[in-house]
Amino acid sequence: MTTLHHNMSLKDEIRDFWSMRSETFDTQPGHEIFSPEERQAWLALFAGHIGRAEAGGAKALDLASGTGVISLLLAELGYGVTGLDLSEAMLARARAKTAGKPIRLYAGDAEDTLEEGDSYDVVATRHLVWTLPDPPSAFREWFRVLKPGGRVAIVDTDMTNPRPGNGKVLRLLARLAKRLSNPRPPAPYMATHENIVSRVYFSGGCRPEEVARLLSEAGFADIVIDRDLRAIHRAQGRFMPLYQRLERASQDRFLVCARKPG
C-alpha cells in the first residue's frame, strides 16, 4: 500500500507540473513542430516503424498526448487516434488543435488506460517513459490493449547519460557554449522538475536497452532500437541556440519499437 500511495502522489505532481508547463509547451522546439521538414521527418520515422494505416479502421493510442502533436501525425498516417493525458490543461490545448480530425482525447493514466484489451493496432508515446513511476506495469498494460501483431513505438531520451560515441565530447562543448552565450537563469520550475526526476523509475537515466529489456519481459517481440533521429534533430536545431543544439546532440535520443506476437 505504501508504494501505491507514493506512485499516486508522484503522478499528481507530474500532472500538475505538465499542466503548468502547458502554457508555453507549444512555444518550444522539440515539443511543437516548427517546420515542414521536421513534420516530414517525424512522419517518415513513424511510418518506417509502425507503417501507414492502409486499411480503414486501424486505431492508434497516443499516450501522454500533451497538446496533440503526435496524435496529429498518427492521424496523418491514416489512424483513428485516441489521445490520453493526465493533464486537462494539456488536453484543452490539444482539443483546439485537433478539431475536425479523427482524434478522440480524454484524461487518463498511461499505466492503467481502462481501454479494452486487443483493441489497438498501435500504441505510441513521446517523452513519456522516462517519467513513468512503474514502466513494467505500463508495458504490460500496453501489451494488453494492443491487438495481436500490433506495435508499440516509444520515442524518448536519456538526458542523464551521454549518447554512445561522441556524447561526452558534445556535452563538454555544450557546457562551454552555454557559458559563453550568457543564457538566462534556470526557470523557477526546474527545481520541481529535478525533484520529480529523482523519484521516477528511470531516475538514473532512461537507457533504451533497459526499455527494450522491460518490453521483452512484458511479452513483446521483434524489439528494435533506432537512434537515427538526425533528420528530426537537424530540423529542430534551426530554432535553437548553439548550446542547446550541442546539448541535445549529446543526449541519447531514440525510438524503441516492438510487436505483440500473434
DSSP letters spanning 9-26 = HHHHHHHHHHHHHTTTGG
Does some domain include residue 249? no
In DSSP terms, 123 is beta-bridged to: 61, 152
DSSP reduced 3-state for 74: helix
Please report which confidence band the pLDDT of residue 181 belongs to, taking 50, 70 and 90 as the band edges: confident
Top-confidence residue, 199 or 56: 199
Residue 67's pLDDT is 97
CATH of the domain at 218: 3.40.50.150
Does some domain include residue 142? yes
pLDDT digits (tens, 9 = 90+) for 147-160: 999 999 999 999 99
Residue 56 has pLDDT above 80, yes or no: no
Catalogue the E-assigned strands of the chain: 59-63, 80-85, 103-107, 120-126, 146-162, 221-226, 251-259
Residue 6 has pLDDT above 80, yes or no: no
Residue 215 has pLDDT above 60, yes or no: yes
Task: Encode 192-220: b = buried (16+ Cβ within 10 Å), e = exposed.
Answer: eeeebbeebbbeebbbbebbbebbeebeb
Does some domain include residue 180? no
Residue 57 and residue 46: Cα distance in Å, rounded?
A: 18
Residue 5's pLDDT is 39
Whether 259 and 149 have beta carbons less than 8 Å apart is answered as: yes
Residue 8 has pLDDT above 70, yes or no: no
Does some domain include residue 194? yes
Residue 54's pLDDT is 80
Does some domain include residue 177? no
Q: What percent of the chain has pLDDT over 90?
A: 88
Nearest CA among 154, 138, 122 for reference residue 200: 138
Q: Hey, what's the cell of 153?
A: 513505438
Q: Which amino acid is at 247?
A: E
Indicate the number of domains in the chain.
1
Q: Enumerate residues 6+ apart whose C-beta is below 8 A from 47.
A: 77
Domain range for 144: 2-155+188-242+254-259
Beta strands 221-226 and 146-162, pairing class: unpaired
Does some domain include residue 178? no
Does some domain include residue 110? yes
Q: Enumerate residues 6+ apart whose C-beta is below 8 A from 113.
A: 61, 63, 84, 141, 145
178 CA to centre of own chain: 26
pLDDT digits (tens, 9 = 90+) for 161-177: 999 999 999 999 999 99
pLDDT digits (tens, 9 = 90+) for 62-87: 999 999 999 999 999 999 999 999 99
Does some domain include residue 171? no
Nearest CA among 18, 260, 2 for reference residue 141: 260
pLDDT digits (tens, 9 = 90+) for 13-54: 999 999 999 999 999 999 999 999 999 999 999 999 999 998
Residue 142's pLDDT is 98
The predicted model gives 126-132 an average pLDDT of: 96
Nearest CA among 67, 112, 121 for reference residue 90: 67
Residue 182's pLDDT is 77
Average pLDDT for the chain: 93
Residue 214's pLDDT is 98
